[in-house]
Amino acid sequence: MKQVVIKETPIGPLTVTAHLGRITSVEFGEKPVADTAGSPDPEADKVLTKAVAELEAYFRGELREFTVPVALDGPPFHVKVWKHLTQIPYGQVETYGQIAGVLGSQGGARAVGNACATNPVPVIIPCHRVLATGGLGGYGGGLPAKTWLLRREGYIK
């Protein structure tokens, strides 16, 4: 496992973690970077470099779709939700209820919200594109970050 901190982003610092060529997490804030001396993982180094480049390009408005590989490890329903989130186009949104309906979980808006809340790779897996019926809903990075991301994508003017 390897980590890198991106200190300067429009939504605050991000700590990105990779293992064996896949991004395993993006965390809001500057987390202590684990000491990985003596544990070579060149695939993680490569994917971290790509993830940082893609995130920086996204924040500059130059990237609309991430290509960096991610590891999705969680309960099966959560994984289904996270995969669905990657299909929501840049600049568009869906509600928790709409996603629940698409995934065959009528009345499962809360379950979709729980999956979004535990998304291990926010921004790259765009849970910020999911809204509550009556407003923005929540966001692990805070509502100012969600608002900034939706504004960057042109959904909020």
Active site residues: 127
What single-letter amino acid sits at 61? G
Selection from 122, 13, 106, 141 nearest residue 70 by Cα: 122
| Phi and psi angles of residue 14, each rounded to the nearest 5 degrees, phi first | -130, 135
